[in-house]
Structure 1
Amino acid sequence: MKYAVSNIAWSASDRLKAYAKLQAAGITGLEIAPGLLFSMADDPFDPTEAEIALVQNELDRFGLSLVSMQSLLFGVEGAELFGDAYERAAFEQGLMRAIKLAGRLGIPNLVLGSPKQRQRPSGMEPNAAIDKAIEILTPLADAAAFAGTKIAMECNPAEYGTNFLTTPDETLAFVKRANHAAIMLNFDVGATLLTGTFDHVMDQLIAAGPVLNHVHISEPYLSPAPANPQDAAKVLQTLETLEYQHVVSIEMRQPQDGLAGLDTALENLLEARGLAGEAR
C-alpha cells in the first residue's frame, strides 16, 4: 500500500510546511483538490505548463507524487447528474475537465463525491436513477480510461445533502452493476462511521475486492482523521489481507489548530500502522 494525504487539510500558503511533514512521516502520495494545488492559476483545471512545472518541482523536493484528485466539480455552475440537458452537460463538461487534467498530471484516481450535484429528483425511482447514472458515466469512464485514470465512486451519506448512493453497500452495488474497468470504488471510512456500518468494515472491504481503487481514512464531516488508531488499524489489517496495492489517503478539512492538527493525524496513522503489524 501507498499512503497519501489530501491537500484539503491545509491552506495553499502552508503547502511547503505540510509537504515537509508528510516527508518526515514517510508519506509519498498527495491527493489533490486542483483549486488548492494550482491556486495561482487563472483556471486550476487548465494550468499552464509553467504552472505545472512549478508545482512538480515543489513535489519533487519532498518526494511526493500525485495519486488522486477530488473536488472534481469545483466552480462548475449548474452541474446536475440527474438534471435537464443543460445541467447534465455542465456535469459532463465539468467531469471531462478533471479527466483531462488527470491525464496531463498522470493521476490514476478521480474521487467522484459531489453530493449536491447527484441529488435524485423526486419522482425518479432508485433503479431508474442507477440506470441513468450508468448511461451518463459510461462514456466519461471511456474517456477516463483513455486518459489513464479511473472514476472512483464515493458513498455520500444523506447527512451530506444527497439521496443517491448514500450507503457503502449501495455504492458497491452500483460499481458492480456499471461493470466498467474505469468505474471503481472509493471506500470512505467516514461514511461507514456516519451510516453506523463500521462494525462491518472488514466484510465491506472484502466484498469490494477487485473494484476497490482508493481508500479514504476519514471521519464524519471531515473532522481530523484518523481519530481512533485502533479503528484505522482494523481497516489497514483488512487491506493487507486483501493484498491491496493502491492508496490509503487521509482526508480531512483544515483542523482548527492548523498544521498541529496535521501532526496529530500523521501520528495517529503511524500508530495505526504499528497496531496493524504493517511491515515498513
Structure 2
Amino acid sequence: MSWSDAMRLAFSNLTLPAFDHLTYLPDMRASGVEGIEIAPDHTFTRPHFGKEFCPREVATYGQAARLAGLEIVGLHALLGGRPEFDMFDDADIRHHTIKHLVHLSRICRDLGGRTLILDSRWARGMERKEAFLQCRAFLEKLLPQIEDHGTVLCFAPLAPDEGDFCRLAPELFMLVTALDHPAFGLHVATAAFAANGETGHKNFAARRGRLDHVHIDEPGRVALGVSGKVDHADVRRHLNAISYSGWCSVVQSLPAGVSPTEHVFRSVRGFRAIYRQDFRNRRTFNV
C-alpha cells in the first residue's frame, strides 16, 4: 500500500448549500468521503456581534455527521465574511478576534476535530516587520488559550488575491518554527502553492513529519481537476515522498444549478484517480 492510499479523504462543507447540509451527509459517506471540514459561517446561524454560535445547533450537526459515518476533521474559513474581526487592527478588535477564535477552537474540540485553518489575512500595507511583530503578539495571546483543547491552528498559504500577509510557504514555515508552539502547525493548499509557483519538492520536504493538514483545491474553488492549473499528480508524488498519511480535504464551492451529491461524487472520482491512482476512475475522470 502506498502512502497515498493511507491519506484520508474529507470534504469542506462549502460544497453543500449554505446552512442546508444535514440531508446530504449520508450521500457524502456513500460516495466514499470519510470526513467533513466545517466552514462555520456557512454552517451555523451567525450570532450577533460578541455572541457565540448556538451550542444546540453545533451539537445537532455533530450528531448528524456521526450518524452518517463521517468524522469532523476541523474548521476552516474561520473569519470568512466577518469584517468585524481582524488580526491587524486596534486592541479592542484584536481582543474580540482572539475571543472568537478560542470559541471556534472549543467547537472544533467538542465535535472531535483537530485543525483550525485561518485563511485570508490582510495587513493592508503595514510595514512587514511591524506586521510580523503584531502577528506574533496576537498568536502569543491566542495559542495558550487553545492549547488544552488539543486543536492546532494553521495559517493557510494564500494566492496573491487572497491576502498580503505570510502567504508564502517559506514565510509560514519560518513563523511556525519561530513560535515553536504545539497549537500552531503547518498546512498545504494546492491552489495557493500553484498560484505562487511553489510546486517544487522543497516546500513539502520541509514539512515531513510536521504537516498537519492538506487542502486539495483549485483556483476559484472549482471542482477538482477543472481549472487545469494544479498538477495534482505532482502533489501526490510530493505527499508520498514525505510519507503523509493524514487528512486531505477537497475544498470546492457549489455552482448554481448543480446537484451537491453529483458535485461531490465527481471530485471523489477525481481524488481516487489521481491521489490513489485508481485506474478504473481515471477512465471516467478527465485528468
Change (3 A) 1:60 1:101: closer
Aligned twin of 1:85:
91
Code of the residue aligned with 2:238 in structure 1: it is T
Mapping 1:202-213, distance limit 5 Å: 202-213=201-212
Name the counterpart of 1:130.
132
TM score, norm. by length of structure 2: 0.83
Query: Between Structure 1 and Structure 2, how many residues are aligned?
Result: 268
Q: Name 1:220's counterpart in structure 2.
A: 219
Could you tell me which residue of structure 1 aligns to residue 43 of structure 2? 37
- The whole-number CA distance in structure 1 between the counterparts of 2:72 and 2:20 is 18
Greater helix share, structure number: 1
Question: Is 1:244 the equivalent of 2:244?
Answer: yes
- What residue number does 2:64 align with? 58
Q: Give ranges in structure 2 of 5+ residues lacking alignment.
A: 1-6, 280-287
Over 3 Å counting, the alpha-carbon distance change for 1:13 and 1:52 in structure 2 is: closer
**Higher mean C-alpha deviation, range 229-238 or range 54-63:** 229-238
Aligned partner (choices 36, 47, 50) of residue 54 of structure 2 = 47
- Distance between the aligned counterparts of 2:191 and 2:198, measured in 1? 10
Residue in structure 2 matched with residue 235 of structure 1 by the alignment: 235
Tell me if structure 1 keeps the 8 A contact 2:19–2:44: no
Q: Which residue among 102, 105, 112 is the counterpart of 1:99?
A: 105
Residue deviations 1:234-278, cap 9 Å, x none? 32333233222421100111134242332221111111133289x
Separation of aligned partners in 1, 2:181 and 2:278: 32
Q: Counterpart in 2 of 1:119? A: 122
Higher relative contact order (CA 8 A, sep 6+): 2
* Aligned counterpart in structure 2 of residue 261 of structure 1, from 256, 260, 263: 263
Deviations 1:131-169 (A, max 9, x none): 221221123112221111010111122212x21012222
Aligned-residue identity in percent: 24
**Structure 1: 5+ residue stretches without partners:** none
Q: Tell me, yes or no, if the aligned pair for 2:73 and 2:115 is still in contact at 8 Å.
A: yes
1:183, CA displacement in angstroms?
0.8
Determine the structure 1 residue equivalent to 2:282.
Answer: none
Residues 168 and 221 (structure 1), Cα distance of their counterparts in 2 relative to 1, 3 Å cut: farther
* Residue 94 (structure 1) shift: 2.2
- What's the RMSD between the two structures over aligned residues? 2.6
